[in-house]
Amino acid sequence: MAEKIATRAAYGKALEELAAQEPNLVVLDADLSGSTMTKGFGAEHPDRFFDMGIAEANMVGVAAGLATCGKKPFVNSFAMFAAGRAWEQVRNSVAYPGLNVKVVGSHGGLSVGEDGATHQCIEDLAIMRAIPNMTVLCPCDGNEMKQAVKALLAYDGPAYLRLGRLAVETVTDQVEGYEFQIGKGVLLRDGQDVTVVAVGMMVQMALTAADILAEEGISVRVIDMHTIKPLDTEILLAAARDTGCIVTSEEANIVGGLGSAVAEAVCESTPVPVVLTALWAAVSSAPAAAVSKPARAAVGRRLSTRTRDRKPASSRFFMACPP
């Protein structure tokens, strides 16, 4: 069985491993180092670790100042606070001037579980993606996370990195020649009938869904789109041409995140049916199923033409890839 590790744990290990290679790496935390997993870095490098207390906006401002002095700050809190409470400082003090600050939001999505609704940040991908100059990443497993942190340390510019709370299965280490590149999606599984573009822990679920659907004669291509901005349009549009329909899957609000980015890119040059599977948080008075019905029907018709058992094909697909 593949190793299971939370991406937040892999992130903490990556910081510790990279500290010796980059003396300008500094880490700031908002009184959550035990949860964001920056405590190990702090213990080993107390002169390069700053616990800013529960003052996220101030933390981002301090990080911006450190960046102007040549330091490479990684600022850490729960996604709700790193992306939410400190959004104005991220926008005005970091992104607009293009400063080399990495904003790290841990415990993103619903999977924070017992932390409760106030900490279940599902809007972070959308609001960070909307900021000019901001790069947005959400790695799917520990291996990818470690490589992402290394890539971000080498990248000169503002970026947002989402971490997960739960331990997840490592899948990218099974890809021959895997190498993380910012802005380049990863083909984890090839297929001809439909493409699932996923991010974060939904990548593992997409692979599971692909296995289930393979037994029903549906060939699913799975793309790990770890970088939501800038989006890899090359791998995406090739998938649109090859399979003729796309389903996106993310642990985030259905408005403005991965699904929106994919739909925007596809409609410009290679329009195909796109179904967004994500979270609906009172963004519309209409239920998700009704809003997405035309696209779901189009995907279902396409899959039905490729399977003998026509009508159940689409229902099996959407049961395997639930919203």
What is each CA distance from 322 to 164, 176, 196, in whole angstroms?
A: 20, 29, 12
Q: Looking at the predicted structure, is the pLDDT value of residue 298 above 80?
A: no
Query: How far is it, in rounded angstroms, from Cα 317 to Cα 64?
Result: 46
234 in catalytic set: no
pLDDT in tens, 172-224: 998 988 999 999 999 999 999 999 999 999 999 999 999 999 999 999 999 99
The arithmetic mean of pLDDT across residues 65-74, rounded, is 98
Model confidence band, residue 159 (pLDDT cutoffs 50, 70, 90):
very high
Tell me which of 23-32, 62-71, 207-216, 271-280 is least confident: 271-280
Give residue 297's pLDDT: 63
Give residue 203's pLDDT: 98
Give residue 311's pLDDT: 41
Parts of the chain belonging to CATH 3.40.50.920: 183-320
Q: Looking at the predicted structure, is the pLDDT value of residue 261 above 90?
A: yes
Model confidence band, residue 294 (pLDDT cutoffs 50, 70, 90):
low
Give residue 293's pLDDT: 59
Q: Looking at the predicted structure, is the pLDDT value of residue 320 above 90?
A: no
Q: Looking at the predicted structure, is the pLDDT value of residue 116 above 70?
A: yes
Give residue 107's pLDDT: 96
Q: Looking at the predicted structure, is the pLDDT value of residue 112 above 50?
A: yes
Give residue 114's pLDDT: 77
Q: Cα angle at 184 between 294 and 260, to 5 degrees?
A: 25
Parts of the chain belonging to CATH 3.40.50.970: 4-169
Q: Which residue has the tokens 């739909």?
A: 263
Q: Looking at the predicted structure, is the pLDDT value of residue 289 above 50?
A: no
Given CATH 3.40.50.920, say whether it is the number of domain 183-320: yes
Chain mean pLDDT for the chain: 90
> pLDDT exceeding 70 applies to what percent of the chain?
86
Q: Looking at the predicted structure, is the pLDDT value of residue 315 above 50?
A: no
Model confidence band, residue 299 (pLDDT cutoffs 50, 70, 90):
low
List, in sequence order, the alpha helices (H) in the chain.
7-18, 33-36, 39-44, 56-68, 79, 87-89, 124-129, 142-154, 202-214, 233-243, 258-269, 288-291, 293-304, 310-320
Q: Looking at the predicted structure, is the pLDDT value of residue 323 above 50?
A: no
Q: Which of 16, 17, 56, 268 is catalytic?
A: 56
CB-CB contact of 140 with 203 (8 Å): yes
CATH topology of domain 4-169: Rossmann fold (3.40.50)
